[in-house]
Structures are given as C-alpha cells and as structure tokens.
Structure 1
Amino acid sequence: MVEISGTCTDQFAAVRTALTASLDDQDVGASVAVYVDGEPVADLWGGHIDEARTVPWERDTLTNTWSTTKTMTALCALVLADRGELDPDAPVARYWPEFAANGKDDVRVRHLLGHTAGLPTWDEPMTVEDLYDRPAATALLAAQAPAWKPGAEGGYHAVTYGHLVGEVVRRITGRSLGVFFAEEIAGPLGADFHIGLPAEHDHRVAPVIAPPERVPDPDAALPRDGVGNPHIPAATANTEAWRRAEIPAANGHGNARSVAAVQSVLACGGTVRGVRLLSEAGCERALEEQFLGTDRVLGVPMRWGLGYGLNGGQLPNPRTCFWGGWGGSMVLVDLDARMSVAYVMNRMLDQGALGDDRAFMILAAAYEGLSG
C-alpha cells in the first residue's frame, strides 16, 4: 500500500481512502485537496514523481494540469468583469479591434468563454512552437472566419480558448494572462499555481507520464473542426519551452492544493481566507448557461457556462461547475456546498474527453464526507 502524506479531517476520511486506492491501482503520483468554506478539510499527496517510482511526490510537487488551467483563465475574466473592466456581453472587438475581421464583429466575450465563438482551432497549419509566439498566434485567430455562427453552437476550444481570452485580458490590463493571474489571483491567495513556470520551480516538477500515442488515421489528419491543430504530444509538457511559455488553456503548473485553493474563491462568494477577489454576484456569472446540447468538437452532451462546464444533472447540487485536464486532472466548484475539490496527478490515462474514474472516485468521496 502506498503511503499517503498530508492532513484530512475525520469527516473526509473517504477522500484519503480513495486516493490510496488510486495510487495502489492506477496512479504513480497524485495530490488531492478539498476545501469547504475556504478552508482545507483534505490536503493529501502520495506516490512518486517518476515512473520508476524512485523519487517521492512531495508536499510542494507541481505538474502540468493541462485544461484544468482553463478554470484559472476563466477566473481572471470573471474578476475583470466583476470590477467593471470587462463586459461579457460586449463585442470582443471593443477590446481587441483587429478581431472584428472576417465577420467576427458581433462575436461577444461570452462566446469566447462559453466555447461558442466558432474558433475551436487555427485554420492555418500550426506547430507546438507556434503556440509560444503569442502575437502571431492571436493575430491568426483575429484574422480568420468563424467555423459556425457564433453563439449558435458549442464546440470545445481546446487550445485557442487561452489565446483568445488571454488576449482580451491583455488588451484590458496591459498584462499577459499569466502575469495578471500571478499578481491578482495566485499572489493574494498565496497559491502555488503558475501559467508560465519560472525556472526556479523546475526542480519541483513531476514530469507527465504520457499515455500511449494513438496511431493517426491518414484519412483524418485534421479531425472534425480542426481538432489536433497543432498536434501536441503529451511529452511536450516536459520540455523547458512549454513550461516557460504561457498557454492559458493548457500549461498551468500546480497541485491539488493550489487548484482547490484558487477555485475556493468561486465556491465561497468571492472571499476566502481574508482575501476578496469577487462579489457574490460576480461568482454567480460562472453559472450563466451559454450552451446546452451536443458539443460539435467533443461529440458529447455539454452544458457550458462562462468558462466552466456546468452540472447537467450528474452532481448532487445544481449550482456546481467544473473542468478537467487531458489525462485526468479535475477541479469541481460547488457553490451550494461552498466546496472545491481538486485532483492532480502525473500519470495520464486516455479514457475520454471528460475525465476518468480516478477523479470521479475522489469527487464521490468528497460528497460522502460532505453528507457526513
């Protein structure tokens, strides 16, 4: 049995049991955190940072969280909206004039946040290295036409999401998304989450352990709506260039504690641990439904809010939002229970777009604790 470190209240002992089971069965190294009323009731970690299981996962170990990063980017937009600096109903071109090109003059900020803007990928062939050139990558998005009528359909903006929302944030604040997040959210909360990882943290990073590469179908080089442009091998996350770049849709580095701590702000009406980042009404905006139906990129039923997936009836409380990262990480924010739950690991599984049973077992354990 793998040894688990950290703290957990008796009420949430099921979370410890779930993490232990996951590490004994499928995980190499992982961390789990549950915050209720802004305070940690479970802060646990265990396993190893390497596949050979020689180096232990420590309290301050970080790893790439893939699309769990999107919840941090969304929170930046919600903070600006709450301050009156960003209007989700405004045309994107109000803040980013070049974006109006090619029939996008009426694309709203909420379309970007709700994955309905019709820009799920780049039309031009892209490489991973092209993602690191923010001005060039965003200019291409500003110039291209939407793939569908904005607002009419939902389609997951897997990588473009971060460049689109990040550029709006940059135009308003004069700061990149990663810098704004560090200064206005992570810093005040003392959260160890980074969008663009400084070199001094490299020694704490657990490299991602990639799932087996799928053999590409030569007749489907670009799947529906261009998903897979650029193709990003999972091992890209272990390169220095990826860590240093700001990919606000996919390269946030953190652990469960930092993810749950940040998102606890949303769960608790905008104020936690003496820090106020949002009003209660500003938090509620995350729950504004932008799309309900079959996502044309993911190919599954989705309910999109402002930057988060919304409860479609699978979760106990209605005012709940969530999202996760490729390979398994996940965060859930329950505004009814004032609870945030995060799971971050280094071994990626390939069990579908919406997570796998490891995260779901952690969530079930958290709700078991909540119900007493």
Structure 2
Amino acid sequence: MNGTTDPRFEGVRTAFAENFTARGERGAAVVVYEAGHKVVDLYAGSRNIEGVGVGEGPRWEPGTAQILRSATKGVAAAALLLLHQRGELDLDAPVGAYWPAFKAHGKEHARVRDVLAHRAGVPALDRPLTPAEAADPERGAAAVAAQAPFWAPGTDHGYHAQTYGWLVAELVRRVTGDDIGTFVAREIAAPVAADVWIGLPDAQAHRAGRVGPVEAPVTAGGLRARPSRRLAAAYGDPHSLTRRAFGSVDPAPDENDPAYRAAQLAGSNGIGTADGLARLYASLIGEVDGGRRLFTPETVRLARTEASSGPDRVLVVPTRFGLGHMLHGVASPLLGPGSFGHPGRGGALGFADPESCIAFGYVTNGMRTGVTADPRAQALVRAVREALGRHHSGA
C-alpha cells in the first residue's frame, strides 16, 4: 500500500486495502479531492495485470495510467459542454445543423442534447466496424450518420456504448476543426494539469499499464456474483440491442495494442491516471489548488440535471443521465443525489459531487464483466461517504 490520506479519510485506505484482500484487486489507484485539494492519493499492486502475484513486471507508480473505457465518456462530454459554455454550440440545435449527413433516415430532429443524454436513437450499427475501421474517425462518423435510428430520436433513451464516441468527436470536429484528442488535450487537460488523454501520445505511452480480465471473488457462501437472468439474457442474445450496442466494434479490440491506445475513441479508449480523472472533475466544480476552473455554475447545473431516466433500452436496468454524464442511481451509485460522472465497464470511475466539493478518480488494471457499479469502486465511494458523514456529524 502506497500513498497518503488525510486523517479524516483513513476509511478509504482501509477499503482500498480490502479491495486487494477480499475483492480481487490486482493493481489500482484512487484519488479524492475536496474543495480543490487532494485528500486521498493511494496506489498499490502491479501496473501490468500479468505481473501480479508472480513478482514480475513493474509496480504501480504515482504516474501510472490505465485505460478508462467508458469513463472516457465523461471527459468527452466535458468538451461539448465547454463549447456550449463558450457559445459555440447550441444544445437545442439539430445535430444536422452542424453535421448535415446525420439527417439521414429520419434523424433530422435529433438534437445535440439528445446525443449527450443517450437519446439520439443510434446505439448500435447494422454492420459493426472492425477495430481498424473504428479507429478511423471519418469512417466511424460516416457509419453513425448512415445508420437508421432504432427509435425516434429524443423519444427514449438507451446507452450508446460505442457510437457515443463517434457522435461527440464529430460534433467537436465540426464546431472547432480539431479532433477530439487535440481539443481535450489543449482545452481541458492542459489548463488544469490533468493526466487524461483521448488518443495516448507516444511520449506518454511508457506510463500506461497493461489491463486484463479478472474474475469476481468468491463470496462467503462459496459463490460468485451473477447478473440477473434478464441482464444475462440481454448480454447473451446476439440479436439483442444490448449485444449489438456493445458489439458495434467487432471483433473486440486488443486494449493493450499501442495502435488502439493511440486511436481517438471518445467513448471507450481514454487513458488516464486516478489523479488525472479526479483532478479533471475537481476542475469542473471549482478551482484546483487555487488554479483554473473549467465549468461555470450554470454548466455544472446542465451536467447534473436529469435528461434521461427509467428503463434503459440497452443496459436493461434503469439509468439516469444528465447531459453527457451518468447521475446517481441504481446503475451507477455515486456519492449523493447531486453527483455526476461516469463509470467505465469493468472498473474505472470518475465523478464530482458539488454539494460536498468532492471529486473522485479510480482506475484499475483488472477488468470485470460488469458495466456499472463495480464493487471495488463502490467500496471506495462508500468509504468517502462515511468519512464525510462522520466529519459533518462532528465525530
């Protein structure tokens, strides 16, 4: 166990240690900011999943970065909200006003806010893209633009697992002329010194650890946690919208491939440190270390105001979304009702909670099969919540 914690947050250290001893953690880091100042900074294990338990491979260091999977979506959403904040993007404008080809097949009424709230109606592709095709931003954008909607845009919501990245990236390009990776690096990450990338630069590639699957630990009763029958059926049916949405890139790419990591998939392949993820969210709700703040209070309000809720046509379970970020709920329990952020399938989590002035970042190299509410991340969130409860009660 390495790193530091403010005495009030020692419970987070305990929960982090228990992730390794009881929840199957292999290598991970967690960082928490409170009112723009770091109060938790912990890391342990190996940065490479293959090296754990056999004494091989480099150990996790403070600057170790890992793939964020869908936690990338929260970073990408910040790009569109920042453009709106600057008056360069109208959330109520049709997507087709910026991207005429997107009007095809009855999508002319889809608004920018529908993209952010997973209401655009195109969570899957009739023909999945290969990893090489998916990494080509023009090919990805063209495929989504040509896709007939699965429902009338704006009338329902369903998680756009892969297509979200091409939608957001193309809107950024149409408005600014920049690719999403360049915009995030220059306008979001650099101003607040957050180590987060969409498209890992060659100069930073040495910092990224290797990821891989890990099984859920055996419970006290000798069983492993299993998804509900309904959820298992949705993921097991190759014709379900669930499988088709997550299978919009087929075969699944090798997440340790340097070419994949250098690609700019704004919904799935961001790379970052726990500090970078937490620091970015801290900068959305306030100044970090007395420095710059990215979002105005009005933009924070937009990010965490419910835009979609109820049964999700892709994830099956009920979900809640603001404009680009998941909100506290069944699918993604965060710190409190006002929290907003995004998990990554199998582990990573980043979010901000304006009421408590908390920003949270967690990354891991051990990827689980679950999409949301990873038990390791949730144990850490509960520990933060308990620490704040004790502090506010005067304990």
TM-score bucket (shorter structure): over 0.9
Letter in 2 for 1:250: S
Counterpart amino acid of residue 325 in structure 2: Y
Given candidates 378, 386, 394, the residue that maps to 1:360 is 378
Amino acid paired to 2:51: A
Normalising to structure 2: TM-score of the pair?
0.87
Instruction: Structure 2: state its 5+ residue gaps.
Output: 216-231
* Equivalent-residue separation in structure 2 for 1:292 and 1:220 (angstroms): 24
Matches within 5 A, 1:152-171: 152-171=155-174
Counterpart residue identity of residue 311, structure 1: H
Alpha-carbon displacement from aligned partner over 1:315-372 (angstroms, at most 9, x marks no partner)? 563211132111111112111111111210001112x221321000000111122222
Distance 2:108 2:114 in 1: 12
Aligned positions, number:
364
Say what the alpha-carbon RMSD is for the aligned residues: 2.1
Match of 1:291 among 285, 288, 308: 308
**Given the alignment, which residue of 303, 328, 353 partners 1:334?**
353
Rate the CA distance shift 1:150–1:347 in 2: closer, same or farther, 3 A. Answer: same
How far 1:236 moved relative to its partner?
1.0
Alignment correspondent of 2:225: none
Match 1:47 to one of 26, 45, 48: 45
Change in 2 beyond 3 A, CA 1:315/1:59: closer
Deviation of the 1:66 alpha carbon = 0.4
Shift of 1:231: 3.2
Asked whether the 8 Å contact 1:330–1:355 carries over to 2, the reply is: no
Give the conservation status (yes or no) of the 8 Å contact 1:196–1:245.
yes
Aligned position for 2:30: 32
The Cα of 1:117 is off from its aligned counterpart by 0.6
Mapped contact 2:83–2:89 kept (Cα < 8 A): yes
- How big is the shift at 1:240? 1.4
- 8 A contact 2:123–2:163 mirrored in 1: yes
What residue in structure 2 maps to residue 204 of structure 1?
Answer: 207
Matched, 1:110 2:129: no
Cα gap change, 1:24/1:169 in structure 2, threshold over 3 Å: closer, same or farther?
A: same
- 1:92 Cα deviation from its structure 2 partner: 0.6
**SS of alignment partner, residue 212 of structure 2:** coil
Instruction: Output the CA distance in 2 between the equivalents of 1:203 and 1:316.
Output: 33
Counterpart of 1:17 (choices 2, 14, 17) is 14
CA–CA separation in structure 2 for the residues paired with 1:239 and 1:64: 11
Question: Alignment partner of 1:12: what SS?
Answer: helix
Pairing 1:310–2:310 present: no
Deviation at 1:44, TM superposition (A): 1.1
Any idea what the Cα deviations from partners look like across 1:268-299, whole Å, max 9, x if unmatched?
3x776321322111111102222111001000
The alpha carbon displacement at 1:5 in A equals 1.5
Task: Tell which deviates more after alignment, 279-288 or 304-313.
Answer: 304-313
Match of 2:153 in 1: 150
CA distance in 2, matches of 1:218, 1:42: 36
Where does 1:111-190 land on structure 2 (aligned, <5 Å)? 111-190=114-193
Q: CA deviation at 1:16?
A: 1.0
Gapped regions of structure 1 (runs ≥ 5): none
- Contact kept? 2:335, 2:353, Cα under 8 Å: no
Structure 1 residues 217 and 318, CA, compared in 2 at 3 Å: closer, same or farther?
closer
How much does 1:204 deviate? 1.6
CA offset at residue 74 of structure 1? 0.6
Find runs of 4+ consecutive structure 1 residues off by over 4 angstroms: 215-219, 313-316
Aligned match of 1:275: 292
